[in-house]
Amino acid sequence: MKKKKVNLRDLDPNEHQGEHSHNDGHNHSSPEEASNFKTYLPAIFSFVMLITGIAVDYFDAFPFFRGWVRIIWYTVAYIPVGFPVIKEGWNSIRNGDFFTEFFLMSIATLGAFAIGEYPEGVAVMLFYAVGELFQNAAVNRAKGNIKALLDARPDEALVYRNGDFVSANPETVEIGERIQVRVGEKIPLDGILLSKKASLNTAAITGESKPDTIAKSEKVYAGSINLDGVIEVKTTKEFKNSSIARILDMVQNATARKSKTELFIRKFARIYTPIVVFLAIGLTFLPYFFVSDYVFRDWLYRALIFLVISCPCALVISIPLGYFGGLGAASRNGILFKGASFLDAMTKVNTVVMDKTGTVTKGVFKIKEVVNKSNFAEAEFMQYLMAMEEQSTHPIAKAILEYKADGADFEATEVSEVAGKGLKGTVNGKQVLVGNKALIVSNGIEVPSETDTIVESIVMVAIDGKFAGYVTIADELKEDAHQAIKQIREAGISKIIMLSGDKDSITQQVSEELDIDWAKGGLLPEDKLNEVEKLKTQPDTTVAFMGDGINDAPVLAASDVGIAMGGLGSDVAIETADVIIQTDQPSKIARAIKIGRSTRRIVWQNIGLAFGVKVIVLILGAGGLASMWEAVFADVGVALLAIFNAVRLQKKRWE
């Protein structure tokens, strides 16, 4: 699906607020308004007028407070809170949308005035307005994470041009330019650290508040805050492709992707609302044919109660708010869901399939063991090996060159590559072979049998025709790899599988170390895809796949939920995935599952609460046992309770 292009400079955190509104005629959405006393003034004015009127009615202290004086008093109380709703209902009708909650509220309250129930008519609109204020406050709070991301968006970059650092718009900075970041400033673009080290607050990117120490030549991300000393960075991405821009784009698009529950409730409300209008009409007139002492006013009053109770505000407001709270809570925990539908999908996952390299391992090769069988000291043995590996660009060569050997560096000459086997050359006048077993054996040199049982990648060395030793190279497990598997199981996942392109022996070793149910290595991208497709054909199986590389993109797209590593992961994997783990921590999968389940639980609690209370009060209202005050509670009161329930997501912690 083609993604909508987003102008990040124009991104409005309030754009998707007010899910139950149908046009621009009745917009309470701005947080600036919510914090302004003027926003609350209409409700305060109506409340004072209503309470005063009820008190005068009750004590009958002023004889003149009757007739037209009383009508005018309650009308004045009604207008500040009622007029915006009536206007919204009228605008909806003009747009062809007759049966909205605004229409129901307008008919019910105007009908209450028509039969002389003025306080009830004002109360319905007043409590509706109060509910709107609470809803806006809750939504603004839920959007705090997105606004924090907007605040993290850098406004300027100090770029080295014409011999000096000059201020420029980050969008104009090109790849490869050098930028300077002072203490307390945000890094404006993704890049490589040129300074010796840096201490950064990466909370906007990773969700982790603790400072992160970055060494020279390591990656840094836009939106991170420099905590200590002036640093310099070489840019590696344009601003539009930077991490912070990508996150903003994903979060904004996430609000537009509705869950099935949200879509169902919206469709339901459009069918449900006209039904209750016709039922209310029937409740008003049909008893005439069946009741001997029929009184039109009494049955009209019951019908008006019926209309107020049946208003779907609690559902239409609280369900999107619940999902939005879940999306915000996830982003605060370093997890980006690309839509509410994926929050739902995550709750159904029962099989987790993961890649190995870069997912549960760091994707960085390290020397695991040096076995020296020569007459040289280990440091000198390594000097021969390192001199040869300096001529190679292989990732394993880079790992070997990180070894710290004492003494003068050796120099290799006449180095040539033996295809698929390794290197041969001369170091300090000695003939040196560096490579796999096939290279050593093909030169008539005997290899110790102990090497046959080694699982890790192995680099063998022969010097002047004699086997000199070997080095084993392994990818390190991420610090939270064991914790991740444990927590995934605790989250109720029945099957954990590892599929890797690395050789099968290494994959099996890592799988066994992590206690993974089943593993398979030596797979091409299409092989991984085939394995996941097989899993999906099994009954009652919902598959989440977690990976980080370009080769994982096909299987990320094919799985029920695709999860990508956001830090180390390739852009293709991140674009394809449904969920992004910004911190590259596999342990966040279990947290993503828990957040999805908490969100779904709260949404269904709100649905049950709204329907349960409404059905009870509807029956009481139809039987004449409930007044307009009970109707107000069934409508606005339940909406408020549902909002407060949804707000719990913003305070909840998942460990």
Question: Among residues 112, 88, 113, which one has the least CA distance to residue 101?
Answer: 88
Residue 532 lies in a domain: yes
Residue 347 and residue 483 share a domain: yes
Residue 54 lies in a domain: no
Residue 471 lies in a domain: yes
Question: Among residues 363, 339, 358, 351, which one has the least CA distance to residue 586?
Answer: 358
Residue 366 lies in a domain: yes
Q: How far apart are CA 239 and CA 218, in angstroms?
A: 19
- Weakly modelled stretches of the chain, pLDDT under 50: 1-35
Residue 494 and residue 545 share a domain: yes
- SS3 assignment for 251-271: HHHHHHCCCHHHHHHHHHHHH
The whole-number pLDDT of residue 6 equals: 31
The whole-number pLDDT of residue 326 equals: 85
Q: How far apart are CA 172 and CA 166, in angstroms?
A: 12
Q: What is the pLDDT of residues 323-338, one digit of tens each?
A: 878 887 887 788 888 8
The whole-number pLDDT of residue 351 equals: 95
Residue 614 lies in a domain: no
Residue 525 and residue 550 share a domain: yes
**String of DSSP letters for 439-472:** HHHHTT----GGGGG--SEEEEEEETTEEEEEEE
Q: How far apart are CA 644 and CA 318, in angstroms?
A: 9
Question: For this structure, is 355 an active site residue?
Answer: yes
- Asked if residue 191 lies in contact with residue 221, where contact means CB atoms within 8 angstroms, the answer is no
Structure tokens, 266: 């919206």
C-beta neighbour count of 509 within 10 angstroms: 16
The whole-number pLDDT of residue 67 equals: 86
Q: Count the domains in the chain.
A: 3
Phi first, then psi: give them for residue 581, nearest 5 degrees: -95, 105
Structure tokens, 420: 């698929």
Cα dihedral angle (439, 441, 442, 443), rounded to 10 degrees?
90
- Asked if residue 528 lies in contact with residue 573, where contact means CB atoms within 8 angstroms, the answer is no
CATH number of the structural domain spanning residue 216? 2.70.150.10
Q: How far is CA 650 from CA 252, 296, 316, 321, 412, in A?
A: 18, 48, 19, 11, 61
Residue 467 and residue 368 share a domain: yes
Q: How far is CA 332 from CA 209, 328, 591, in A?
A: 10, 6, 12
Q: How far apart are CA 332 and CA 313, in angstroms?
A: 28
E strand or H helix that includes residue 335: strand 335-337
328 CB-near residues (< 8 Å, 6+ apart)? 142, 143, 144, 145, 146, 649, 650
Residue 583 lies in a domain: yes
Residue 372 lies in a domain: yes
Choose the catalytic residue: 190, 212, 344, 355: 355
The whole-number pLDDT of residue 33 equals: 44
The whole-number pLDDT of residue 285 equals: 92
- Among the candidates 222, 237, 252, a domain finishes at 237
Q: How far apart are CA 530 and CA 536, in angstroms?
A: 10
Q: Which domain holds residue 524?
A: 336-361+478-594
The whole-number pLDDT of residue 138 equals: 63
The whole-number pLDDT of residue 23 equals: 39
Q: Is the dihedral of CA 320, 322, 327, 328 positive or negative?
A: positive
Residue 471 and residue 548 share a domain: no
Residue 640 lies in a domain: no
Residue 219 and residue 187 share a domain: yes
Q: How far is CA 125 from CA 51, 128, 418, 614, in A?
A: 14, 5, 84, 18
